[in-house]
Amino acid sequence: MPKITLSMIVKNEEKYLKECLESVKDIIDEIVLVDTGSSDDTINIAEEFNAKVLHYEWTDDFSAARNYALSKSTSDWILYLDADERLSAKSINELKNIVTKNDLLGFRCVVNSIDEINGKPNFMRYTRLFHNNPNIKFNGRIHEQIDDSLLENEYKILDSNIEIIHVGYNIVDGELKNKAKRNLEILKDEYEKNKSPYNAYQLANTYTTLEDYDEARKYYKQSVYKNSLKKEYKAFAYLNLSGYEYKKQNLNEALEYLEKGLKEDPSNPLLNLLASEIYFRLNKIDESFRYCKTALLQNIKVLSGINKSALAIGLKNETIISKGIYSSILSSNNIELNYFLDVLKNENEKLYGIIKKLLENKKFIEHEKDEIVRMISNDNLDMFLTLLERYNEKYLALEILKEIYNSFKNNSKFLKALGLLYFENNFLNEAASLFEESLILKEKDPASVFYLVSVYLQDNQLEKIPALLIMAEKEFGNIPEFNSKFEILKQKLSTIFKK
């Protein structure tokens, strides 16, 4: 039976390493573990599994460390993993069958990045298993690659269904940003030496994690400039470029990037969902629902593993269904509403029951109110805000939104919705404060301007209106749908101020 080496580079991985090694202990003949300076229990854990532990001085070069590990590997085949990864138990038999082949082969594996926090599971296909050969080398100081070397040495690279579970993304936002900061300088230096589309793409992803969207936009544009980038990566770059323009209310530019992205990868669920949102804003309702349904269909393919793309990022199905329900309510489209409700009933019957009661204006008992509070998330917030704005029991709706204020106080749509409920319950000071808060956030909801004017008029705070109008024109003057309503508002206000 051919032998397999598990090849790894690690530093301070006591949190993850044991589970990684447990997942492969029954099929691996040799563990070559290169440590780049651990100060925790990493080495002791590795030695429990009889690993060959090698010490290596870190030089800000992931490929150099991986190549050192390869140079010390003696088996017929190499499987390489990171400490925060583990081989899926269901993949062991396939791996055993693959290594019986004698040809020069590399095999792409499905790296399933668990992301329970953001609800975006990420499936990528990387070559992680290949026949050992002293001529094979990783390249790239960061986000290192093996494919070029395999192809140069006349290997065939084939797809497999071997699944590697990656848990390193299943962490809070702050930890992800710390990782991105650590990688940024290496990426910048690598890009200066090699301005390849792939390096530009990875640099853009890092800036996105760090929320430096101007820099991210610059490098995404560089990444799609040439045709060498994988189509799935180009689609993701266009997705982000479109999303940035959409947030700035530049709908035509957003649509232009979106169409380029869909041309590269029409199976991308996130692109289809963004298409649905943009077309809805452009009042192309039929197209909006078509893209929303396509997003759901493609998302199911991603989550089930049918989608074999090099990069497949999915969502919770409920996220897409919630968008469909939200759009159906806003457009008063009962046919589409019933379609998405039927899908939701099969997906989550409890959530379906709550939504039906809100739509039918039925009363809730106390524990059901608490249940609604627990159900509201970033994924379904727009839907719930729309339902609660239309719900007849205004005071109950107000109580629900008050309970989730701390979770969504940086969301302008949420602040607008809560402010509106305060206004409808005649709490003018609270309403004004929330509308004002929503208009100092980076992403603002233009509708808050009109509601805030109404509050100022009712509360006789006319002196605040001129400054508000100046700010609104500056912030939202590029949005046609806002401008038409804004001109009507200014005309009405001019008659009031003349009096």
Domain with residue 55: its CATH number is 3.90.550.10
Any domain includes 80: yes
Report yes or no: 113 and 38 within 8 Å, Cβ to Cβ.
no
- CA angle (86, 87, 93) in 5-degree steps: 165
- The neighbouring-strand residues paired with 300 are none
Any domain includes 497: yes
Last residue of a domain, which of 166, 195, 230?
166
Domain that holds residue 478: 409-499
Report yes or no: 326 and 340 within 8 Å, Cβ to Cβ.
no
Report yes or no: 15 and 85 within 8 Å, Cβ to Cβ.
no
Select from 448, 447, 453, 452 the least CA-distant residue to 482.
Answer: 447
Any domain includes 171: no
Report yes or no: 273 and 294 within 8 Å, Cβ to Cβ.
no
* The two three-digit tokens of residue 92, written as one number: 């062991």
How far apart CA 69 and CA 56 sit, in angstroms, is: 9
Any domain includes 330: no
Q: What is the pLDDT of residue 177?
A: 85
Last residue of a domain, which of 116, 139, 166?
166
Q: What is the pLDDT of residue 171?
A: 57
How far apart CA 403 and CA 487 sit, in angstroms, is: 36
Last residue of a domain, which of 144, 166, 188?
166
Give the tens place of pLDDT for each residue, 289-343: 999 999 999 999 988 888 888 888 888 899 999 999 999 999 999 999 999 999 9
Range in 172-186, 201-215, 226-240 the model is least confident about: 172-186
Any domain includes 98: yes
pTM of this structure:
0.86
Report yes or no: 129 and 95 within 8 Å, Cβ to Cβ.
yes
Q: Which own/partner contact pairs does 315-318 have at CB distance under 8 Å and 24+ positions apart?
A: 315/119, 315/120, 315/269, 315/270, 315/273, 315/379, 316/119, 316/379, 317/343, 317/347, 318/344, 318/347, 318/348, 318/351, 318/379, 318/380
Range in 53-62, 168-177, 222-231, 297-306 the model is least confident about: 168-177
Any domain includes 43: yes
Any domain includes 379: no
How far apart CA 91 and CA 160 sit, in angstroms, is: 10
How far apart CA 191 and CA 279 sit, in angstroms, is: 36
Any domain includes 271: no
* Number of domains making up the chain: 2
Domain CATH code at residue 477: 1.25.40.10
